[in-house]
Amino acid sequence: MKRKALSIILASAMSLSLLAGCGSAAEQTAAPADDAQAQTETEAAPAADAAAEEAAPTADVASEGEHELSVYAWDKNFNIPALEAAEKAYQTVDPDFKLNIIEQSASSDVENAVTLAANSGDYSQLPDIVLFQDHYIQNYVTNYPDAWIDLEDAGIDWSNLGAEKISYSTIGGKHYGAPVDNGTAIFAYRTDILEECGYTIDDVTGITWERWLEIGRDVKAKTGKYLLSMDHNGDDLPYMMMQAEGQSQWKDGQPYFVGNDTLKQILEVIITGAKDGVIYLCNDWSEYTDTSIIGDQVAGVFNGNWIIPTMEQVSENSGKWAITTIPTLSGKEGYAANGGSSLYITSNCSKPELAKAFLAYTFGGGEGAIATYDDALRNGGVIGTCISASKSDVYQEGVDFFNGQSIYADIVAMGANVPVVEQSDYHYNARTYIQAAITNVINGSDLDTELQGAEDQVKFEMGQ
């Protein structure tokens, strides 16, 4: 399906979104958040006792006022402006409302705080609300069920928030989290480089990975640029490519590497691309952002939309980029997500009804959602998850860096198409061993042998 077909899909998603009332936000304008930040933190799944080795920064979490709530959050350039936007929006219905935002240095501080409180049996150490990474929350709700208050009676229209996004925070059939940001993946291309090589954005939309590799080899030969790069130390390519296929690396709670033909084919694409100079597998996050993207060595970028601010640092390339969907093994247009976080009410909250009303009115898609997400976009670059947010004038605005493309509305609409696939608390463990398998095969090892070894390692760490 070519670009025209993509436009039809996006338009259809936006038309359907008008049936619900909600607002969302746009891209990040400072340092990449959530998953990008996680590259510099502990990348293994959190182990309860180990995670509590270092306590989170201490602060008074009490919210004494009748109209006051406290929240732990990190990233003053991204998440905190979004929370400030929500506070401002809720003050239109409750002028006395105050959100006491207690800044943490990293998401791991929040995880540690929950672990310490649970292990001590004293949840009074927690604020009313915490911001939590999507990939970790199921582990914490499962391990510490008494630490949380669900949002089942908050009056949130969950169908308007994107099925994939809320799948992380839906545990035991109950909704626990109100999503803040949108981790929908973009595949962006330098249209000037494509044109130089005889291609358009249509030629890389709705194609097979096999065809994509052919185009990539041509681009490399003619321009010296890679068609894609990734931080191979925290390699998210396999996960995103699998999700675009509607498939998972997990099956019934177990790692599904051996006998997973889709995973094997995906890894063969990555390995071939790396060997042929089409995919640049960087040694670390800095090489990925500073050398490959900011260093202008790539003609394509594929990651969560939080990567956009990194791309925008190369101002001379403004107007030369466009975003589209993801290639797949079959050639259908693919959709994926990578990264993100949501807000959760803790059992220490003395005003749960206020907390639920606040979350429902703002991030949950209530009457204050458009104001919340528009403001969060302007001040923090946060793209939200509400499907109907694309009706906002802010979301419809063209972005100069992407040659006037309305990327905010496009990203929200694409996010509605991201398939829900099985997740695991051991997501990062799997990523580590799949990454090692790719490296070993590039260096001459056998893929089947490496997949068996990776699966065995993950099962061992799961205690099996």
What is the domain extent for residue 191? Answer: 185-336+426-461
Say if CB 303 and CB 228 are below 8 A apart. Answer: no
Alpha carbons 347 and 349: distance in angstroms, whole number:
5
* Strands 300-304 and 228-231, bridge-based pairing: unpaired
Residues 190, 147: one domain? no
Statement: the pTM of the whole predicted model exceeds 0.85: no
Alpha carbons 343 and 362: distance in angstroms, whole number:
11
Residues 156, 67: one domain? yes
Residue 9 lies in a domain: no
Q: What is the distance, to the nearest Å, from the Cα of residue 124 to the centroid of all Cα atoms in its chain? A: 30
Residue 31 lies in a domain: yes
Which residue, 371, 403, 435, sits at the end of a domain? 403
Alpha carbons 207 and 400: distance in angstroms, whole number:
26
Residues 159, 89: one domain? yes
Residues 359, 451: one domain? no
Residues 199, 59: one domain? no
Residue 202 lies in a domain: yes
> Which amino acid is located at 254 in the chain?
Q
Say if CB 131 and CB 123 are below 8 A apart. Answer: no
The encoded tokens of residue 226 equal 């890679």
Q: 3-state SS string over 246-289? A: CCCCEECCEECCCCCHHHHHHHHHHHHHHHCCCEEEECCHHHHH
For 425, phi then psi, to 5°, come to -65, -20
Burial of 464 (C-beta count, 10 Å sphere; 0-12/13-18/19+): exposed
End-to-end CA gap in the chain:
44
Number of neighbouring beta carbons within 10 Å of residue 424: 21
Which H helix or E strand runs over 69?
A: strand 68-74
With CA atoms as reference, report the closest residue to 228 among 178, 287, 187.
Answer: 187
Which H helix or E strand runs over 303?
A: strand 300-304
User: Residues 239, 36, 360, CA angle at the centre, nearest 5°?
Assistant: 90
Residues 358, 330: one domain? no
Alpha carbons 168 and 342: distance in angstroms, whole number:
9
Residues 201, 70: one domain? no
Q: Which 8-state DSSP code applies to residue 178?
A: E
Residues 214, 332: one domain? yes
Q: Which 8-state DSSP code applies to residue 291?
A: I
Residue 139 lies in a domain: yes
Say if CB 388 and CB 17 are below 8 A apart. Answer: yes
Length of the chain: 464
Residue 409 lies in a domain: no
Say if CB 224 and CB 299 are below 8 A apart. Answer: no
Say if CB 127 and CB 114 are below 8 A apart. Answer: no
Residues 159, 76: one domain? yes
Residue 235 lies in a domain: yes
The CATH number linked to 96 is 3.40.190.10
Residue 3 lies in a domain: no
> Which amino acid is located at 411 in the chain?
I
Number of neighbouring beta carbons within 10 Å of residue 106: 16
Number of domains in the chain: 2
Residue holding tokens 């390995």?
Answer: 271
Mind listing the pLDDT tens digit of every residue in the chain (464 residues)?
334 344 433 443 333 333 333 333 333 333 334 444 444 343 434 444 444 444 444 456 766 789 999 999 999 989 999 999 999 999 999 999 999 999 999 899 999 999 999 999 999 999 999 999 998 899 899 999 999 999 999 999 999 998 999 999 999 999 999 999 989 999 999 999 999 999 999 999 999 999 999 999 999 999 999 999 999 999 999 999 999 999 999 999 999 999 999 999 999 999 999 999 999 999 999 999 999 999 999 999 999 998 998 999 999 999 999 999 999 999 999 999 998 899 999 999 999 999 999 999 999 999 999 999 999 998 888 998 888 767 789 999 999 999 999 999 999 889 989 999 999 889 989 999 999 999 999 999 999 999 999 999 999 999 98
Alpha carbons 451 and 436: distance in angstroms, whole number:
10
Residues 129, 71: one domain? yes
Residues 49, 152: one domain? yes
Alpha carbons 191 and 310: distance in angstroms, whole number:
18
Residue 2 lies in a domain: no
Residues 138, 266: one domain? no
